[in-house]
Amino acid sequence: MSAPNQPRSVKVLIADDERDIGDQLKYYFEMRNKTQKEYQFDVAACYTIEECVSALRAGDYDVLVLDVVFRDGDRRGLELAMVIRHELRMKTPICILVSGRATLADCIEAVRAGIWDYLVKSSKAERLFEDQVVDSAVRGLRELDIQKRLEKLVVKEWLPANLDELKRTYPGQLIALWHEPTVTVVGSGKDAYELSDALRPWQASGPHGGRPYFYRVPR
């Protein structure tokens, strides 16, 4: 655990079958360690799907940067990302997909699968692609840090007294809780994607910058 005012150690796994891109992304994450104080990136790179799966099973990573298309097999990165999100959801909470070209269908699939971001490799963008990837990872980590702080607040102040009621009303469901300062259930559904429309009115204003806390109710 990081000491107060010290960067939090973050493990990043980059999986891209184009070795030069994977190595370049690794370099940019490591260079960012010199210019920002929130996170200290510990970065590993792999170049095949098999290496990626083995690395994820062997250790906990905070961020996964995954190429959409691998040339070494018939499994696409997007399909692998969905498997990873289902089987290793808690081990790799932030998944960023990168692609040489994006299709609308892939973007929609990525959103439905709970992928954090989908970025296109491009030399024509105003900002370097590598910087976009690192910035996206930092934004995702900040969101998770806020979520964890809200979780501690909600669990400590509200859930113990109301858990029985939640179990009766929302058994096994994902619910969104809003703290203002008492906690209110503002949406429910089988996954966060289904909650997005219900929560949209709450995003513009509210405590904690308009970020609801998601909680899966035990059965």
Tens of pLDDT along 89-103? 545 678 898 887 767
Query: Crossing angle, helix 104-112 and helix 77-87, to 10 degrees?
Result: 10
**139-147: long-range contacts (C-beta < 8 A, 24 or more apart)?**
140/63, 140/93, 140/94, 140/96, 140/116, 141/8, 141/10, 141/38, 141/39, 141/62, 141/63, 141/94, 142/38, 143/211, 144/93, 144/94, 146/208, 146/209, 146/211, 147/211, 147/213, 147/214
Q: Is the dihedral of CA 40, 42, 48, 52 positive or negative?
A: negative
Which of 124, 145, 166 is the C-terminal boundary of a domain?
145
Best CA proximity match to 37, nearest among 59, 6, 69, 70: 6
Q: Report the range of poorest mean pLDDT among 84-98, 104-118, 198-212.
A: 198-212
- 121 is in which domain, residue-wise? 8-145
Which of 110, 145, 180 is the C-terminal boundary of a domain?
145
The average pLDDT across 177-206 equals 68
pTM for the model stands at: 0.71
Separation CA 94–CA 116 (nearest Å): 6
Do 37 and 101 belong together in one domain?
A: yes
Do 61 and 18 belong together in one domain?
A: yes
Structure tokens at 184: 């209110």
Do 170 and 107 belong together in one domain?
A: no
Do 97 and 32 belong together in one domain?
A: yes
- Looking at the structure of the chain, the number of domains it has is 2
Question: Which residues, in sequence order, are CB contacts of 141 under 8 Å at separation 6+?
Answer: 8, 10, 38, 39, 62, 63, 94
The predicted-structure confidence for 3-13, as pLDDT tens digits, reads as follows 556 889 999 99
Do 140 and 183 belong together in one domain?
A: no
Do 63 and 117 belong together in one domain?
A: yes
The predicted-structure confidence for 184-195, as pLDDT tens digits, reads as follows 787 787 666 667
- Kindly report the length of the chain: 219
Do 67 and 126 belong together in one domain?
A: yes
Do 93 and 169 belong together in one domain?
A: no
Do 124 and 26 belong together in one domain?
A: yes
